Structure formats: structure tokens, C-alpha cells
Amino acid sequence: MENIERKRLAVLVGCNYPNTRNELHGCINDVLTMRDTLVSRFGFDPSDIQLLTDAAAADAGSGGSSSVLPTGANIKKALGEMVDQAKPGDVLYFHYSGHGTRIPSLKPGNPFRQDEAIVPCDFNLITDVDFRQLVNRLPKGASFTILSDSCHSGGLIDKEKEQIGPSHVTETSNKSSSISSKSSKPKAIPCETILHHLSSLTGINTSDIATHLLELFAADASLKFRLPPLEVLDLFESSKPDEGILLSGCQANETSADVTNAVMTGGKPCGAFSNAVQMVLKDHEVELSNKKFVLLARQVLKEQGFEQHPCLYCNDENADATFLSQSQE
């Protein structure tokens, strides 16, 4: 009975940052392709998929394209609404393709650590704290899968157990690269670049990125910058297994590639990880566990010559659960 009632909800975000020095080319293609895959392969209703891109609506494709820009506030609003309407047994999915960054940690006791964030089109960073808070709000029995095709994406849900990553899977470097550096670009914006951009808007002379974000975005800024440090710490205190599932395009210290002219996509720009995901799905009609799915994507990228290693972070049960499905009881 629960299987009949189960809903599948998705938020898809593609940021190409057009006409800027940070411009990418394959991110909108990534989420448009995934939208079609969610409907045809996984049974999502198109009306339950929200698409946010920084292209004009006419360029975002037909059939439910969205003119909602992927600003930090809009992305968090879409994700919050998705989580708030979720019920036990529902399957939630967030696919992000765009730039990532690393910022100095604000957590007590971690003065030298860096935390991961995604970079919306307005540079209003969405951090690991925001994703942790969303996962903590999930109703029991609902799952939330995040697939982030961005640089430094390996730590986007902090405190999630590493299933595949630098500590559990070691691989030698790819022996030869089939991808020219001229046809790919890392999907990363250094923190210094973000700081320079924000300070040019605020006119405030400080290297504290939180000051700029709070000045520009106030209540729409990340919880990392708005909450007192001890309240941030409280979000990460619970050690019980949760239903957050992170498939990252690379390890936290790596970059993910935006490919502008890849042979494997017929010259169509794409994210290397998003494209590997599509290749795995095409080559495997059977259902795949999250763990097997990520291992196969790693193999695809290795064979193509990319120096990035997708990771999986989730509890043990969800590692063996079917990608975009619930464990069968």
C-alpha cells in the first residue's frame, strides 16, 4: 500500500553562469537530460520535478521548463518545499550541476578545516550546514538523494558515513588522459574569487566571507553564517543513521569536469560525472544499488581519462538500497 502512495519529488539545478568569467557549458544539459531520465526510467511525474537554470526559459527546453533562476534563495526554497511536503516512503532527489567551492570552517574546534559549498548563480553559497538541516527535517522513512556534479562535492552532507571515498577506495591515477584540457574545465570557483566578487558588491573591506554574504543576502544567507556556532554544532550532534544519500562527482579535494566537446556525447557539452551517470543507466537495465552505481560511474570516468573520483556518503542500509528507490522491506 505504501508503494502505491509513494511520491517521487525532484529539484534539478543547472548553473552555466553565462557571459561571466566563470561560464560553464554543460550544466543545463545535465539537468535537462536527467529530467527526461527521471520520467522515463524512474517513474517521476513531470509535475513533481522543479527545474531551475540560469538560461532563459525558451532555452531551457520544452515541456515544463522553468524560468526560476537558481539563486541561493530560490534553490533553498525549492528544496525546503520538497522536504516539507515529503511523507514516509517518498523518494526525494536533488541534482546539482555547477560550480563548487571550499570555504574556511566556522565549526568550533576546526579552525584549519575547509567546508564545502555549491555556488548558485548569485554567489549566495549553499553550504554543508544547509544540506544537513534539510536531511534532519526528513520524515522517517523518506529518502533524500543528492547528486552533486560540482567540485569539492565530497563533503556536502557533513557527518554522513563514507561508503566510497578516499578512505575506503584507493585507485592509482589514470594512466592516460583521453580528454584534452582544452575541452574541459574544472567546475570550481576559488574562495578568494568569490570573496573578491562579493566585496566588489558590498564595498566592505574585510576578508570575512560571512560578513559579505550577510550584508548582501541577510535572512537568505546560509545557516552557516546566520546561526551561532553552537547552534550550527547542534545540527551535527545526532549520530543516528539518517536517510541522506550523497553521490558526489569527486572527492572533497578534487575538481569535477565540465566537458565542452566530448566525443562520448557527440560534441554536446556536459558534466563528466552527469554523463557517466547516464552511461551507467544506459548500460544497465537492472536496478543498481547506490554503491554499485557509484563504483560503475568511477570506472566510466577512469576509462575516459578523468582525474576525478565519485564518492558515496550514506548509512549502510542505503549503500545497498536501490538508486532512487527505498529498501525493500
Catalytic residues: 99, 151
What string of DSSP letters covers 159-193? Answer: TPPEEESTTT---PPPSS--S-GGGEEE-B--HHH
Measured from the Cβ of residue 60, the count of other Cβ atoms closer than 10 Å reads 21
Contacts of 294 (CB under 8 A, 6+ apart): 163, 164, 247, 310, 311, 312
Q: How many helices (H) and strands (E) does the chain have?
A: 11, 13
Note the Cα 95 to chain centre separation in Å: 6
Residue tagged 566556522 (cell numbers) = 106
- All cell numbers assigned to 63: 515541456
For residues 329 and 326, what is the distance between their CA atoms, to the nearest angstrom?
Answer: 9
Torsion angle (degrees, nearest 10) of CA 121, 35, 61, 221:
-20
What are the CA-CA distances from residue 250 to residues 70, 205, 221 (Å)? 22, 34, 25
The torsion region of residue 266 among left (phi > 0), alpha (psi -120 to 50) and beta comes to left
Helix (H) or strand (E) run with residue 281 in it: helix 272-283
For residues 29 and 16, what is the distance between their CA atoms, to the nearest angstrom?
Answer: 10
Length of the chain: 329
